[in-house]
Amino acid sequence: MTSPMRHQLRVGYADTDQGGIVHHSVYFRYLEQARVELLRECGIDYRSLEYDDKFALPVVDAQIKYRRPAQFDDILEIECSVGLLGRASVRFDYRILRGDDLLTEAKIMLACIELPAGKLRSLPPSVREPLKAAMQGS
Amino acid sequence: MTSPMRHQLRVGYADTDQGGIVHHSVYFRYLEQARVELLRECGIDYRSLEYDDKFALPVVDAQIKYRRPAQFDDILEIECSVGLLGRASVRFDYRILRGDDLLTEAKIMLACIELPAGKLRSLPPSVREPLKAAMQGS
Amino acid sequence: MTSPMRHQLRVGYADTDQGGIVHHSVYFRYLEQARVELLRECGIDYRSLEYDDKFALPVVDAQIKYRRPAQFDDILEIECSVGLLGRASVRFDYRILRGDDLLTEAKIMLACIELPAGKLRSLPPSVREPLKAAMQGS
Amino acid sequence: MTSPMRHQLRVGYADTDQGGIVHHSVYFRYLEQARVELLRECGIDYRSLEYDDKFALPVVDAQIKYRRPAQFDDILEIECSVGLLGRASVRFDYRILRGDDLLTEAKIMLACIELPAGKLRSLPPSVREPLKAAMQGS
């Protein structure tokens, strides 16, 4: 991927808090939604990873900077790219934009675990290879 | 139970929306929390129902009236009682109060299903008997 | 509107619970999202109703039947129409479908209130007229 | 405060996802709840900060490590302390425990802003002094 994947969404009323802005916890839902779509674009169906292939990619570390608040009914653009690819982990890097304004930056690290046991395992080639290609822009 | 079970909770900031009140979807989380505690008081551990006994009680019908809004940091009292007890279903009836003010009334119907298949099944005696006793106040 | 407005969305991972299905509280977020889009199709911008016109349409009553569960990554179609139009209230009626399967039916009643006081007021013509037209399919 | 404030809560069913664990976004709600209670213990009523004093403390940066997952019905203990105190910001540091097991560690930075404008402002003495005392354990 020479450029990051972009995912668009609209802020819902339920996503706001009494400060009149999107609650900081809600961005993790937005980022997850963008991540599932990036995986789909890479040919990886996250649903079947869990249901059929019996492994999962839970979040193990998150860093997020809230630069400007998003508000109800805003249309947000989420840029998502593969930042790091480890043996048993992958980090997705994000920027959330409203028009040209950068609202939020985040790095979310996922580990690869077996289901149902939860033991760490290396990323299978069916996941690693497309993510590597996405990272290298090839 | 001669009187309904009472469960107390405090409204979180994340529970509010930009209208400055608790979002209407959040009450279902409050009611569920009260329901789990009522079951516990009746000697029913909902966690082990799902994990060990392999059945579940999903919500199949809900009716709720929002009379007055709850706000951030309010202490709410949830009254919860068994309203109806069917062969394969149970209805819990609720009133949410802030001091003497009635804020919300709700009726939540749950069905009894087998896990993982999801097929309807009759309530097992270990659940039906304590709920019946709770309903009759005996 | 001769037929109900239709709004499509995809179920997020965060929307599920440990039962492997969409949590019953999450549907209210989906219905709200569809409602905001139906209003937009009718020429009503809900954001500016609150920000500029200083009134709001909070939910005062909800009835919902969960017939079949939705699951992660499902594409849902929400049908939304105006069911009742009162002097100071409006009811939206919904059906949530996955392909041809009817998953959920709901009726959500909203009241019209002044901001910031919260006093009930009649629906302004700028809202009532387009909703009436939508209801009558004209 | 010679030791961090401790806040206890029980994991709700709605907090879980289909992986059978608490969804990573939900911890921010838990941490916020603990933070409001720490402020209250310090004599700071966050509700009146926003309503009466017209300033707010939105989250501007968050770092969180998920070491082990929490599950439905778990009783969690949240340790919360003041980690850093700037002119217009404060960082709260957290550890979430289940019994002796450390599940999660987090650092949440808040900025002080004026309402409704949102402009950065220095922490008022009524907030700074008790937080400083809490940090120094005096």
pLDDT one-digit tens code per residue, C89-117: 999 999 999 999 999 999 999 999 999 88
pLDDT, position B1: 47
Question: What pTM was computed for the model?
Answer: 0.97
In a domain, A88, yes or no: yes
DSSP D124: P
Domain with residue B112: its CATH number is: 3.10.129.10
Counted domains in chain C? 1
Q: Which residues of C touch A (CB under 8 A)?
A: 10, 12-14, 28-29, 32-33, 36, 45-47, 72-73
In a domain, B138, yes or no: no
Angle at C54 between CA C53 and CA C59, to 5 degrees: 115
**pLDDT above 90: residue D83:** yes
pLDDT one-digit tens code per residue, A68-109: 999 999 999 999 999 999 999 999 999 999 999 999 999 999
Chain D nearest CA to B60, separation (Å):
15
What residue numbers bound the domain in which D78 lies? 5-136
DSSP B101-133: EEEEEEEEEEE-EETTT--B-PPPHHHHHHHHH
In a domain, C135, yes or no: no
Cis peptide before C116 (omega within 30 of 0): yes
Q: Which residues pair with C98 in a beta bridge?
A: C101
> How large is the average pLDDT for residues D69-85?
97
CA D107 – CA D65 distance, rounded (Å): 9
Instruction: Using 50 as the pLDDT threshold, list the residues of chain B that sit under it.
Output: 1
In a domain, C110, yes or no: yes
pLDDT, position D1: 47
Whole-Å CA distances, C36 to A72, B129, C135, D21? 11, 45, 16, 32
Chain C nearest CA to B62, separation (Å):
5
Instruction: Using 70 as the pLDDT threshold, list the residues of chain C that sit under it.
Output: 1-2, 138
In a domain, A67, yes or no: yes
Residues in chain C with CB shorter than 8 Å from the CB of B69 are 58, 118
pLDDT, position C2: 53
Angle at B105 between CA B99 and CA B106, to 5 degrees: 140
Whole-Å CA distances, A39 to A89, A130, A133, A134, B47? 14, 9, 12, 10, 33
Residue in chain C nearest A29 by alpha carbon = C14
